[in-house]
């Protein structure tokens, strides 16, 4: 049986990883500045993570949500403290797309309305409503295109209000730092304006924190910089440090009922152990503070490279913009200098999404390689 050929693959085969490095089958060491799509938050094979998952697997790895799982309650309590989202309720699932799918579905249940507002260059996942809310027609099948989604310019509050006035919008979904779209952000006034408009017109505000959450922005969630209170917060990727975990935090204005949402694998014992491990290491190693400090250092180093037109993003969710397509540059960084970086919808942008354990010496290695290639 052949694999369904949907991924253009680099000719690299990692077989082992430790902290910010991965090693291929020949023992060649690579610096990971991409974290597998911002997934690796506390570093590859962190000893606390490995120990906790191993111990949990030796006890029980999975049972369904038809029985009690005290780890979910423990996780909810620790997550409230770490994120300062004390009044929210937790629903766990298995991926970012599933998190956004549940968020949008819940918003529609809550408002009894069918339409969605999303923003240009957004990416929210590849499932039904999530992919329809993603600004990339190439990955939206005709089946998904039946969803009623309005794509508006990021920062255009007037267009948002005009759309809300139609009275059929269930939710506004937004990444406060766009990921795949290219690290764009708007202003605090815009995000606060969205919150006000949602309250005025009875729409649900969904903060998509799938890439930016769990400390990557330097705050626990990227929206927190702007002093807003979303109705629903979606999360995944760095939440599990490689274990498939997703979830949504739900404001108490939205009421639960039996059967409203459901999942087979979400919140299983291993998923909880993975997320609890991430929260523990984020705190004990001060990784959110490290993200802030490494952003400052990264920006200082970027000033030494005149070919960089713009440094976008925040924390350790960064993008380097050039005046040329970066595909060949990324290949040179990978194959000549053994450094993983990321692409985006914007062909002139390199994405930097390393483990939050990164140090100045790793940033130095990257910029020395970049200068050689430029």
Residue 159's alpha-carbon distances to 130, 185, 186, 194, 362, in angstroms, are 21, 17, 15, 11, 43
User: Does any domain span residue 27?
Assistant: yes
Looking at residue 243, what is its pLDDT?
Answer: 98
Q: What global pTM score does this model have?
A: 0.97
Q: What is the CA radius of gyration of the chain?
A: 20
User: Does any domain span residue 38?
Assistant: yes
Shared domain check, 163 and 69: yes
Shared domain check, 201 and 75: yes
Shared domain check, 84 and 200: yes
Model confidence pLDDT, tens digit, residues 83-135: 999 999 999 999 999 999 999 999 999 999 999 999 999 999 999 999 999 99
Give the residue among 348, 347, 345, 350 at the shortest CA–CA distance from 136: 345
User: Does any domain span residue 305?
Assistant: yes
Domain boundary residue among 241, 266, 284?
284
Shared domain check, 250 and 122: yes
Shared domain check, 276 and 337: no
Shared domain check, 358 and 333: yes
Residues of the chain with pLDDT under 50: none
Angstrom distance (rounded) from CA 325 to CA 281 = 37
User: Does any domain span residue 7?
Assistant: no
Looking at residue 293, what is its pLDDT?
Answer: 98
User: Does any domain span residue 1?
Assistant: no
Looking at residue 279, what is its pLDDT?
Answer: 98
The DSSP letter of residue 3 is P
Shared domain check, 293 and 246: no
Looking at residue 7, what is its pLDDT?
Answer: 93
Shared domain check, 301 and 153: no
User: Does any domain span residue 3?
Assistant: no
Residue 109: which CATH number? Answer: 3.40.640.10
Domain boundary residue among 224, 254, 284?
284
Looking at residue 244, what is its pLDDT?
Answer: 98
Looking at residue 131, what is its pLDDT?
Answer: 98
Domain boundary residue among 243, 260, 284?
284
User: Does any domain span residue 67?
Assistant: yes
Query: What's the domain count of the chain?
Result: 2
Look up residue 98 and give its two tokens: 């599933």
Shared domain check, 312 and 192: no
Give the residue among 78, 44, 99 at the shortest CA–CA distance from 276: 78
User: Does any domain span residue 344?
Assistant: yes
Residue 346: which CATH number? Answer: 3.90.1150.10
Shared domain check, 309 and 190: no
Shared domain check, 182 and 55: yes
Shared domain check, 356 and 290: yes
State which residues form the domain around 36.
14-46+286-373
Contacts of 196 (CB under 8 A, 6+ apart): none
């Amino acid at each position: 049986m052949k694999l369904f050929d949907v991924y253009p693959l680099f000719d690299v085969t990692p077989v082992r990883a430790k902290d910010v490095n991965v090693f291929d089958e020949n023992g060649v060491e690579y610096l990971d500045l991409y974290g597998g799509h911002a997934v690796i938050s506390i570093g590859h094979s962190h000893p606390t993570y490995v120990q906790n998952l191993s111990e949990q697997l030796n006890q029980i790895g999975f049972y369904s949500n038809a029985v009690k799982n005290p780890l979910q309650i423990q996780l909810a309590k620790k997550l409230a403290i770490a994120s300062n989202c004390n009044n929210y309720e937790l629903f766990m699932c298995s991926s970012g797309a599933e998190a956004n799918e549940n968020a949008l579905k819940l918003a529609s249940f809550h408002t009894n309305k069918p339409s969605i507002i999303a923003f240009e260059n957004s990416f929210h996942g590849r499932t039904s409503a999530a992919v329809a809310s993603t600004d990339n027609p190439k990955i939206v099948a005709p089946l998904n295109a039946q969803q009623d989604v309005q794509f508006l310019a990021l920062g255009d509050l007037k267009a948002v209000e005009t759309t809300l006035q139609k009275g059929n919008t269930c939710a506004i979904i937004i990444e406060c730092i766009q990921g795949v779209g290219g690290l764009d952000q708007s202003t605090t006034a815009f995000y606060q304006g969205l919150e006000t408009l949602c309250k005025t017109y009875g729409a649900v505000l969904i903060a998509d924190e799938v890439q930016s959450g769990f400390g990557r922005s330097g705050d626990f969630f990227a929206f927190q910089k702007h002093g807003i209170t979303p109705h629903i917060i979606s999360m995944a990727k760095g939440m599990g440090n490689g274990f498939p975990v997703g979830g949504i935090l739900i404001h108490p204005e939205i009421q639960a009922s039996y059967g409203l949402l459901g999942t087979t694998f979400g919140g299983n014992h291993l998923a909880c152990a993975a997320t609890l491990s991430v929260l523990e290491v984020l705190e004990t190693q001060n990784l959110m503070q490290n993200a802030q400090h490494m952003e400052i250092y990264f920006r200082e180093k970027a000033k030494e490279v005149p070919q960089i037109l713009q440094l976008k993003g925040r924390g350790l969710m960064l993008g380097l913009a050039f005046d040329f397509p970066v595909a060949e540059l990324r290949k040179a960084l990978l194959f000549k200098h053994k450094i993983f970086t990321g692409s985006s919808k914007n062909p002139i942008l390199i994405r930097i999404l390393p483990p939050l354990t990164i140090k100045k010496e790793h940033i130095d290695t990257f910029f020395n390689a970049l200068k050689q290639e430029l």
